[in-house]
Structures are given as structure tokens and as C-alpha cells.
Chains A and B, each alone.
Chain A
Amino acid sequence: MIDWREHLIIGPIILPMVVAAAMLLFDERRRILKSAMALAAMAAILAMALVLLHDSATGAVGGGDTARVYQLGAWAAPYGIVLVADRLSTLMVALTSVLGACSLIFAIARWDRAGPRFHALFLLLVMGVNGAFLTGDLFNLFVFFEVMLAASYGLVLHGSGDARIRAGLTYIAINLTASLMFLIGVSLIYGVTGTLNMADLVERVRQMPANDVGLLHTGAAILGVAFLVKCAMWPLGFWLTQTYSAASAPVASVFAILSKVGVYVIIRMSLLLFGAEAGVSAGFGQTWLFIGGLVTLLFGTAGVISSRHLPRAAGFAVMVSSGTVLSVLGLGGVSALGGAIYYLVGSTLACSMLFLLAEILERGREPDAGGARAVFDDEYHDPFEDDERNEPGRLIPAAVAMLGGAFLACTLMVAGLPPLAGFIGKLAMIQALIGEGRLSDWVVVACLSLSSLGALIGLTRLGVSAIWARPDDAPALVVGTAELAAITGLLGACILLAVFGESAMVFAQHTADWLARPDAYVSATLGAGR
């Protein structure tokens, strides 16, 4: 009898896949059934993700200072396919489920009627993201990445309309090209090392003969570019704001995690393969991450200040968050990385919430709304044509106050001001960087402070004009109960992150320590079958 908890690792991948497939058997008109299935699946995924996170935080069931390995088909690691659940991957899976659950609740209030097969695509996206976080080898990373991207192509077009199709065209073209670079990188690495398993790669990179190192670095750099496109590092990320601001709100909100998949892979690969013990390859690419991250941070900040619409500002906030983590990773300090991981969680929650709030605040003001035309007659149902259904649910009198409060919290999170989690993360990073005290550390500290100021100015200005100084001709603020519940969920997660700040920070610090010791990862993954 095998412990059920061992099989839990594959749950967040299998469950959304099965439910999404089952959902396709039902007609589009059975929306309530589909919503219920999607919600139940998301709730189960959230529960599984929290159990996994709890296990890796407390060290139960082989968690803690090791990684739990799930061997598919019981084939041992370098030959078989493995899923690896360690601190970082379970943290990211938990973050995905929280974002996914809240975005889904938000969508069920209204947006899921804007096009066909929303729930199935949504669950497939969650499956791809979870798979990308949990997988232990490069080629499965590619497969899960493609599952995630294919679902995201469908979701970005959800609701149709000029802006979405135009943005979708760019988005798909760029990501298809990035996927091809991913393949080139993976096959180059395979050609040099003869393995695709991440743990096996660690050893082979260390023992790499000198004349192959160039080829390995080329492969790793091409692979890195594919992920840096995803996390929107400066010269590669111009597609992001256009796409995210054109996508419907619940989609943009869950897309906040997609750029973090890029950040996650960069963190994992650079610390595993190019950590301190990697010989000639040690620290490969760090300078590029540092410079690119810093420019992304500044570019995103400038974007937040100059945006005239909230969804665009939210898109730039995603770039600020990626840029911060990348530049801190580029510096290579372990304690600063702990702060960056904590910041990553908080800022992703905040960006996601910002997309949801933006839709409520700008509702009825987008020129595109209601003007969407059908492409395929049988596929398309205009969400705004049916008045009775257009009601976003029961209206709440204190909506303005609630929205104002939530927006304020968002601003504080993104800008990193007390008392919320954004501040704790930024403080931890800055403290660790000042402790290091090199010139590059001070540059990052200066840029982080600058970005706080910029985000504060930009978001406050947009918020004041959208909530408190609303122009008279703007439509009244309406918000449904489900929408409010989704926002409250994200807000609650932000507050919990701050209230339990100490234990969360200890966890993040342990994660960074764990990432700095690739040997432990290797022995956990490869040792499991021996």
C-alpha cells in the first residue's frame, strides 16, 4: 500500500486535465454545471497545493530539507520522467492555485459568458503552469510550457474583439518563436550533455570538458532567452502590456503567474546548473540577468508612471515585479534571494488583484466593450447584448469604499510601502543588499526605492481619477458579490502574507538556502530509485 500523499504530487496536474476533458463532453449551454465543475476542481487543486506546501514547509512526508520525487511509471530518475516537489515548486503551485481560484470566481460572475469553452481552457492553463513548476526534466518542461501556452492563446482571445485579436496575433507569434528557441536550447544542451534530467545535468555540467563548455553556454543562453521573453525582460517584453491590457480581466489576472513561470525557470536553472560549484560555468549569465533585470525594473516603473489606463499600469507592474527578482538573482546573494522569493509571491498577488480592480473601475469605459463583432457565428455570444444577464450580480452599497480600500492595498503592495507584504519583501531585499555593500548592490537598492516611488505616484494618480475623482460622465461603479469575493480572496492572501510575515520569510529564506545547495536536489532526485 503506497501512501496517498506520495501521489499527491501529481494531483495538481492530473485533476485539471481530467476535469477539463470531461467538461468538453457537455454542451456550452450548461454553464452552471461547467462553472460548478471548474470551481470544484480549483478548490481541490488549492487544497492539494496547500497540503504540498505544508509538507515541504514542515518537513512531513520527506519534505523540508529535501525534495520529494514522484517517479512516473516507477522508472528511476535519469531515465524515467520525474516530478520534483521541493520548497520553491510547491510554493509556486500554491500561488498558482490561489490566483487561479480567485480569477475563476471573478470570471464566473460575468466573463465566462463572453466566449466558448472558458472553463476548460482555464483548467488546462492551470495544468500547464503546475506541470511546469513540478517537472524535473527539461523536455517535460517544454511540453507543460506548450500546454500552458496553447491554453493561454485561447484565453487571450476570450471575448473576441479587435484589440484582443490584434494583441493575440502578436502574443502568439512571439511565443511561438520563443518556443522554437526553447527547443534549440534544449536540444543543444542534450547534444552536449546527453541528458535532459535537471539533476543529472548538474553533475554533467560540472565535469564538462573545456571544449564543450562554449556549446553548453550557447544552449543555456538560447534557453534563457526563451524564458526571459516569458518574464518580459526589457528588450524582450514589449508584447506584455499590450497583451495583458487587451485580455479580459480574469484572464489577465491569472496571466500574472505566466510571467512568473519564466522567472521560476530562470531561478531554478541558473542556481542548479550555474551555481558556485559549477566550475568554469559558475555564475554564467548573472551579469546579463542583473543588467536586464535592472533595466526592466526601470522601464516598468516609467511605464507605470506614464500609463493612462489601469490595465496598462498593471501590465507594467508585472514587469516591475519580474525585473526586481531578476536583478536580485543576478547579484547572486542567498539572503537577498530569500527576500526576492517573498516579494515574488506578494507582488504576483498584487498584480493579479490590480487587473481585477482595473476591470471594475474602467467598466463601461473601454471603447471596445459591446463593440465586438462575431468572427464565427456559431461560436460567439456577445456578453453585453443580453441585458438581463449583464447584471454582474447583486450590487453592494458600500462598493466604492470596498474598492477604494482594495485599490489602496494594491498600491501599497506594488509600491512596497508598510504595512503590507510588499514592504516586508522589499525591506528584506534591501537589508541583505546593504549587508553585501558592493556598488552593484547599492545600484539595485537605489532602483528599488525609485520604483517604489514611481509605482506610488503612478497608481495613486490613476486610482484617484478612477475612484475618488470620477468624472461625471463616467458610469457608476457596480460590483457583483462574486467579483468582490474574488478580490477579497486575493486581498486576504496579501494580508495573511503580511500577518504571518515572519514564518513566511523564514520559509522564503530556507527556500533560498535550499536552492543554493544543488547537491541536495541532485541526491534527492537521483537517489530516490537507488
Chain B
Amino acid sequence: MMELVLALAIGVLAASGVWLLLRPRTFQVIMGLSLLSYSVNVFIFAMGRLRSGAPPVLRAGVEDPAAYADPVPQALVLTAIVISFALTALFLVVILASRGITGSDHVDGREPGA
């Protein structure tokens, strides 16, 4: 059940992200990129296998590796979140600059037919 919910969540996020990414307005593009990066982050997390209640950090007295969750994807996802967040902020600035200079929020910098 958990697998199904997670897979659906990743799928819906990614699909909405791709759809928005292909839209003509810059705001939609940045929302699409954000949704896509959420879906990718959850996906990375899922690649460490789904476990609940298993800590990723070693505790004294518990030596069985099967009692722990895989810490690597958690470290990866943290890095990926930071990087995609920073780059989304940067992209937002470029979009604002594009809006300011071209006077249009279309991704081509001009209204279609204009």
C-alpha cells in the first residue's frame, strides 16, 4: 500500500511538473521545475527502499545492519534539495529580469503573434 501511494505521488508530481514545464508562461515553467524537483527528491528517497521506523544512524548495542535504513539516499536527497532550491531561486531572478526587460512573461520574451 505504501509503495502504491508513493509511486502515485511521484508519478502525479512528475506528470504535473512536465506539463507545466511545457507551458508558455515563465511562472508555469518555474512551478513545473519545482514540482519536478520534488518528485525527483522523493524518487531518490524511494531508491533507498521503503522502511518505516528504521534509523539511518548507528546506535550502540544494535549491530544488525538490517535494523537500519540506508543513509546514502538520505544524504543524497539533502544535497539535491539544497542544489535545486538554490537554482530555482536563481532561475526566478532570471525570469524577473526577462519580465523587466522584455515586458512579457512569455518564455520567448514576446507575446505570440506580437
Interface residues in chain A, defined as those with a beta carbon under 8 Å from any beta carbon in chain B: 139, 142-143, 146, 149-150, 153-154, 157, 160-162, 165-166, 168-170, 172-173, 176-177, 179-180, 183-184, 186-188, 190-191, 196, 373, 375-376
Contacts and interface: CB of A to CB of B under 8 A. Distances in A.
A174 to B, nearest CB: 10
**Most chain B CB neighbours (cut-off 10 Å) among A157, A165, A196:** A165
B103 to A, nearest CB: 11
Contact of A165 (B37, B73, B84, B102): B102
B44 A183 contact: yes
Interface stretch (B1-9, B56-64, B91-99): B91-99
Q: Which 9 A-B pairs have the closest CB atoms?
A: A191-B47, A187-B44, A187-B47, A166-B109, A375-B97, A146-B83, A180-B40, A165-B98, A183-B40
B21 interface: yes
A187 B86 CA distance: 20
B53 interface: no
B102 A153 contact: no
Contacts of A375: 96-97, 100-101
B73 A172 contact: no
A184 B94 contact: no
Interface string B47-91: 110000000000000000000000011001001100110111011
B58 to A, nearest CB: 14
A137 B47 CA distance: 18
A187 B36 contact: no
B97 A176 contact: no
Given A168-B94, A375-B100, A188 B47 contact: yes
Contacts of B96: 375
11 contacts: A150-B86, A150-B87, A157-B94, A160-B101, A173-B21, A173-B107, A176-B88, A176-B91, A177-B21, A187-B73, A190-B76
A334 to B, nearest CB: 34
Nearest to B21: A177
Nearest to A188: B47
B101 A165 contact: yes
**Most chain B CB neighbours (cut-off 10 Å) among A146, A162, A180:** A180
B78 to A, nearest CB: 11
A190 B72 contact: yes
A166 B98 contact: yes
A157 B44 CA distance: 31
Contacts of A143: 79, 83
Interface of B: 21, 26, 29, 33, 36-37, 40, 43-44, 47-48, 72-73, 76, 79-80, 83-84, 86-88, 90-91, 94-98, 100-102, 107-109
A517 B10 CA distance: 39
Interface residues of A, dominant DSSP: helix
A179 B79 CA distance: 13
A271 B95 CA distance: 40
Contact of A172 (B21, B43, B44, B91): B91
Contacts of B48: 191
Contacts of B44: 183, 187
A142 B72 CA distance: 15
A481 to B, nearest CB: 34
Contacts of B91: 153, 172-173, 176
B79 A373 contact: no
Contacts of A191: 47-48
A190 B47 contact: yes
A499 to B, nearest CB: 43
Nearest to B77: A187
Given A170-B107, A179-B83, A375-B101, 11 more contacts: A162-B109, A165-B94, A165-B97, A165-B102, A169-B26, A172-B91, A179-B84, A183-B44, A187-B43, A373-B101, A375-B100
Nearest to A147: B83
A227 B94 CA distance: 24
A188 B44 CA distance: 8
Contacts of B21: 173, 177
Contacts of A160: 97, 101
A327 to B, nearest CB: 30
Contacts of A373: 101
Contacts of A176: 33, 84, 87-88, 91
A176 B29 CA distance: 11
A149 B90 CA distance: 11
Nearest to B49: A191
B42 to A, nearest CB: 10
B76 A169 contact: no
Given A169-B94, A187-B43, A180 B37 contact: yes
B33 A173 contact: yes
Contacts of A186: 76
B67 to A, nearest CB: 17
A173 B102 contact: no
Contacts of B107: 169-170, 173
